[in-house]
Amino acid sequence: MVTLFVFYIHTVGAVYAFTDQYQEEGMGAGALAVAFMGIVFSVGWSISTFILKFSISEKGFGMYFNRDALSLAILTAGEAVFYYLYLKGMKKKEPTSP
């Protein structure tokens, strides 16, 4: 169940990123935003799974929160911080009048 929720959050985020970039810069920028999110997701999931293999057993904390679900939850938290800081720096500053 946790896994489904995490994938749903990423799907909604990818649609938002595509729509936002498509409206500002076009189809190519939207596709690049989704590709960037896909790369960050796949690499982050691999790294978080690799790290958790050393510290958590395969059963994890129960049936719904096993090691794979825990690695996805940690990945989602890390991505949330990363995208918040990344998009915070991309905010456009409105020109000030002299």
pLDDT of residue 31: 94
Of the pLDDT bands very low, low, confident and very high (cuts 50, 70, 90), residue 94 is low
57 within some domain: yes
Q: What is the distance between the alpha carbons of residues 86 and 63, in angstroms, rounded to a whole number? A: 34
pLDDT of residue 39: 94
Range of the domain at 22: 2-78
Cβ atoms of 2 and 74 within 8 Å: the answer is: no
53 within some domain: yes
pLDDT of residue 42: 93
85 within some domain: no
Q: Between 77 and 92, name the one with better pLDDT.
A: 77
46 within some domain: yes
Q: Within 13 Å and on the Cβ side, how many CA atoms surround 86?
A: 11
30-88 residue pLDDT tens = 999 999 999 999 999 999 989 888 888 777 677 777 888 888 989 999 999 988 887 77
Count of positions (residues) in the chain: 98
Q: Between 65 and 25, name the one with better pLDDT.
A: 25
98 within some domain: no
- This prediction has a pTM of 0.77
Place of tokens 């409105």: 94
pLDDT of residue 93: 57
66 within some domain: yes
Q: Please tell me the total count of domains within the chain.
A: 1
88 within some domain: no
96 within some domain: no
